[in-house]
Structure 1
Amino acid sequence: MRDILNDLDATRHLSDPDPVRRAQIQMKTPLPKRFYQAVTIEPGSVGQVVKLDGKIARTPARAPIELPTEAAARLVAEEFDAQREVMDPVTMPVMRLANTSIDGVAREADAVLEDILRFASSDLLCYRADAPEGLVQRQNEAWDGVLDWARSALGARLNLAEGVIHVEQPREAIAAIGLHLRGRADPFRLAALHLMTSLTGSALLALAVDAGELDAETAWAAAHVDEDWQTEHWGQDSEAMARRAARRRDMFAAARLIKALD
């Protein structure tokens, strides 16, 4: 699955999944200089292509960076245009998602969909604390509405558990989520959904953002109820804050791409 969802993380500029470690590596690795002046988007064969000085921008596999809507292509173009003396792929999360979609997900959409369903079968929102009461209440407030939405909108009634002991989910519920996903299975959306799912630990939160049931900020907060509780009581170190900020950036990039696809 990591091979399928490969993006610029495989390059020397995104060579470690930990954003702090990655920043340390980047301090030692010169970034490529910006080699273009003008960034434009133009109609392509099936969508809108991004062009740099009139030449089509390409993925690491040399495929054209072509997105299905003008709004989506503009997001990538804006990231190219925002680069200054050097090009920093860390600051181009939508472009990396586009690369992942074109070079990987388009070829293996079923595998990506199945990976999202694996998250759904052990979704974060189904595992509840039994104490303290304050945390239990926060989880209920942040998560119950999403589970209600999944039941009413998707036909997926999921089982809850206390603690970390695995709870088996009804096959009918996972099948209902899968049916919904297959109706939203274009490569760009799938890549964005997979990224949001892996960042939050919840396929339901990702699907709720895709459906407009939650905005990205609300979904992000819901995914971090437990972490925020711990931080309030025990504090947070700077490296943990940096990792969370990097994940948040990627989460919001995925949400922007999804919105631009509609």
Structure 2
Amino acid sequence: MSEKLEQLGAALERGKVYLVGAGPGAPELITMKGLRCLRAADVVIYDRLVAPELLAEARAEAELIFAGKQPGCHQLPQAEINRLLIEHARCGRLVVRLKGGDPFVFGRGGEEAEALAQAGIPFEVVPGVSAALAVPAYAGVPVTHRGLASLVTIVTGHKERGTEVSAVDWRTLARVGGTLVILMGVKTLPQIAAELQAGGLDPTTPALVVEWGTLPRQRAVQGRLAEIAERAAQAGIRAPAVVVVGAVVHLRELLAWFQDEGTAPLAADDPYAIMADE
């Protein structure tokens, strides 16, 4: 399989950018096409939550550029990332922009694609497994289930940059029904839970917060909507984490299949230390 992927990689185009989804964390969840692109790349510009094992798949000659972001600290501004993508592609290199999850699901991949299109740079999007679906699945929660949820809403918990106001109308979402999956919402969970209840969502609605989903360090905190923020805080839950709200959370008691392996602090030399939200 490895030899076949390398042979296929030879057909990938230089002078082009591949926006590749690395998946939600576990290295084996990258797609075959994503792995093929990574193994053929001349330049890999990667995000904070990309598994170290995936970077090891790059060619020894490939240039690896860390473009990680975490709250309050951007290794590279988005404008600089866009510039690097364009510059390396114009030099005739095969560039892989390796992004956690799926490039077009809260990954700013759309902005990068726009910049490439406006600069006349050929590009291709290689979709990835989104944390919005994979993390609940690893926690034993199907986001849809006949009789419980025929609708899934995926939303960001980030506030508008430079303000204390969320871009999301949580009170309206409270009336939508189905399953609510919130990415990047750990810090704002108290406000989110309060707004959902103010919008009419039952305070006893099942809720779940999953930290480091799909990785051996995965752990989860479950409770009612009214108490989930407090429970998560007491457990010391931090980003990266996914919040799930809805009746499907109850299924976790029967369907949980992935064994958590503890929550000891990261050692300084742990390869995942760079992924942690400081």
Q: TM-score, normalised by structure 1?
A: 0.26
Q: More helix by proportion, 1 or 2?
A: 1
Q: More strand by proportion, 1 or 2?
A: 2
